[in-house]
Chain A
């Protein structure tokens, strides 16, 4: 490999940002000044290539410090990591939070997604732009869901510097959002995570029982509230015993695909190839989803304990926690918790003195919904574009770095704690026969008490909405997020289980329940869903790359039409949608048409 790095130079600031991550360069091969020894030594080869996975952290480092990524900065990073600049450019331009063009140091991401749009995001954006005017030093960017839907409309300010500063404003007003952007340090503190849990402190909660009860910064407090009993139990059972418990509990993945967790663990554990990896998918970017954020902010040690158990059971010694780039508070809480756990011997070479080595590394995403797809997530961690890989081979065989990998999302992992503390039979007795255990739901939209709710599987949609205080004039409920489907206001007796929703011709997806009353303009909402998929398609395969664009165009044409005037375009939408479902590489393209189709078929959206 004969790499060509160009001659643009980094600024001191950019160089410092990269060196802070990678340490100072050792020789001129890495961009340092030339010394005598450099003449007799060449860097490269296999050893150098190993650092490619630091590309994404490196891009973050530059973007955090300067606000954008210049040619010189990118070339310097490439030199340090022995990554071809063309590939790094391809990666940098893949993520929405990075810019390769100059922009102001402060970026204000204003959510214009479903819940926020219904709560007045367009007016908020217009107001902010008017207040800030030109040359304000703030770049206002319209953003997909920020995972703060319970406090819609939401805005996130990121001010580059050393250190980078962030502030969240939600529910946002023009004044507060502008304040967050101009002075993130003096913006008011975010409300505690527990405020997103209307049931906080109630008896009988299993996944949320510590949220609002423990101090998320205190390991002692976590232990005082039952923390680390599950891990002790795991060590008593041994890896095979843990997998047996998880299998017997009937736990299935909560990320949307509903695959049996025990089977996945078993398949990974039994692979002869080493090492094994554990990946926690904390990239919850499905519009309307915020449960993982609330768990990570309110009870961060629970996730760390659960990851340790999963790693132990599957024979992994390293866990990657892939966290949404838009979750600054989760990042801080988890960084702190991991450091504490490490300092107390709960992570590291000898976890709890049991001779098991395990550690966790956080990797931040950078604004790409597709990176929630498991194989796209691997590519992202490895420093490639977040494009899904085609399956087979499956991750249990060839996952992260081509090694056997088990990937679970946050909610799935956290379920392992009660499984071990209460035992599989007691856990399996909760819920229904095929959907066992408790389930988290993210309720937002036109309800009195939006937030994360925990209910045993089997409760009906109506019961959940009653808890959340559904308002009069309910028109439709979106289940499962943008990749899910709409149901009508007269279908509230749908049982919230995997099998129940499937029977009703819809899906539970990631647990999104978004309510819309009859003031919400449905065609606009559908257009927003189409826009979302168009923006988030990775672009790899034709049905999705072009199909999402053609669908958005068709929905634009009929936004104010009904009946015969819309019929031609609806037929076109169906034809394109069918091919997208059948021929796309990954779940994004395969499900992008679901919600709109359900609105046409179930709600009569254009009649």
Chain B
């Protein structure tokens, strides 16, 4: 169930979406309108609980009168706008962006990644065998989670979640620039020497699996990770009085990771270290 807080009623505005007159509440993005109309626009850096960063550019659409394409995830719909979502021009940019990404990072654990590559007929191999890749080794420096930046598309979601949008810990940021830009903690130190408080909210928002539970990482390495065998149970965290919702992912009667429902109006998917990682006692069968 999606809980939508009731605010002041918003006025509707009218614009054209792929030739169709469309009405959306004021303040909606083009992407909101597309989704309401049942159109499937690929998105990677857009996050349901975060302000759009519009960095990945896979969601671009054509807006009449605009010199360049426009990111649907962040551009607000305006009255009278004429938007086309599926033109050759927009599809071309999406295809190239997907190719560029897939040629430089590992999208194998990106949900819907493979599907979109296929839909847009992206051929990441055509940049040749020598195309520069990130080639990062996974950083395994603590028992709770692993940073595998070889899968990082630099969507900034983890930075925003750790920073002023949710956690206010500011333990990670983007360092370097251009192709050498990387997510890093201060002085590029191990996580254990950083300001990280292990709330795992960055893992919650990461769209590619670059950040993952150590349990998931180890099981994938061992070949035992199998989502089809997992059940998800949403319950209430019992540690403190806040009462956050936890979703336990269980495989073979073991909790393998913990997420949190994004549509919870109190926590929006955020947890603290105890709720996110403190589940071993549950399965202490000693």
- Hey, which bits of chain A sit against chain B, CB under 8 A? 1-4, 6, 71, 74-75, 84-90, 93-94, 100, 368, 385, 390, 534-543, 545-550, 553-554, 557, 572, 575-576, 578-579, 581-585, 590
Contacts and interface: CB of A to CB of B under 8 A. Distances in A.
B177 interface: yes
B57 A541 contact: yes
Nearest to A85: B186
Given A100-B187, A368-B177, A543 B171 contact: no
B136 to A, nearest CB: 15
Instruction: Specify which of B58, B93, B168 lies most central, judged by the most chain A CB atoms within 10 Å of its CB.
Output: B93
B173 A86 contact: yes
Contacts of A74: 186-187
Given A4-B195, A93-B176, A94-B176, A539 B153 contact: no
B43 interface: no
Interface stretch (B98-106, B138-146, B230-238, B258-266): B98-106
Interface string B112-144: 000000000000001110111000000000000
Given A94-B177, A584-B68, 4 more contacts: A87-B163, A88-B186, A539-B154, A590-B68
B185 interface: yes
Given A534-B179, A582-B68, A553 B130 contact: yes
Given A93-B177, A583-B60, A84 B184 contact: no
Nearest to A533: B178
A86 B127 contact: no
A194 B96 CA distance: 48
B13 interface: no
Contact of B173 (A89, A368, A548): A89
Contacts of A535: 178
A557 B128 contact: yes
B187 A89 contact: yes
B130 A86 contact: no
A390 B131 CA distance: 29
A539 B176 contact: yes
Contacts of B74: 390
Q: For the complex of A and B, list the 7 residue pairs with the smallest distance between their C-beta atoms, beginning with the closest.
A: A84-B170, A539-B181, A4-B195, A579-B96, A90-B173, A85-B186, A546-B100
Contacts of A93: 175-177
The binding surface of chain A is classed by DSSP as helix
A576 B57 contact: no
Given A3-B170, A89-B188, A542 B101 contact: yes
Of listed B154, B181, B188, residue having the most chain A CB within 10 A: B181
B56 interface: yes
Contact of A390 (B54, B178, B179): B54
Residue of A534, A539, A576 with highest tally of chain B CB at under 10 A: A539
B33 to A, nearest CB: 17
Contact of B103 (A385, A390, A546): A546
A71 B194 CA distance: 12
Contacts of B257: none
Contact of B132 (A75, A85, A90, A549): A549
A576 B57 CA distance: 14
B154 A545 contact: yes
A539 B103 CA distance: 16
A408 B181 CA distance: 29
Nearest to B59: A583
B178 A85 contact: no
A86 B168 contact: no
B110 to A, nearest CB: 13
Interface of B: 54-58, 60, 68-69, 71, 74, 89, 92-93, 95-97, 100-101, 103-104, 126-128, 130-132, 153-154, 163, 168-181, 184-188, 193-195
A543 B57 contact: yes
A540 B176 contact: no
10 contacts: A1-B168, A71-B186, A85-B187, A89-B175, A93-B175, A546-B100, A548-B178, A553-B132, A579-B96, A582-B68
B54 to A, nearest CB: 5
Which of B74, B100, B127 neighbours the largest number of chain A CB atoms within 10 Å of its CB? B100
A86 B126 contact: no
Contacts of A575: 92, 96
A6 to B, nearest CB: 7
A87 B130 contact: no
A498 to B, nearest CB: 16
A273 B86 CA distance: 39
Contacts of A585: 54-55, 57
A576 B179 CA distance: 16
B97 A542 contact: yes
B170 A547 contact: no
A579 B92 CA distance: 7
B97 to A, nearest CB: 5
A35 to B, nearest CB: 26
Contacts of A550: 100, 103, 127, 131
A541 B178 contact: no
Given A6-B186, A74-B187, A86-B186, A547 B96 contact: yes
Contacts of A548: 178-179
A581 B187 contact: no
A545 B130 CA distance: 17
Nearest to B162: A86
Nearest to A386: B177
Contact of B153 (A71, A542, A547, A583): A542
Given A1-B168, A553-B132, A87 B179 contact: no
Nearest to B52: A390
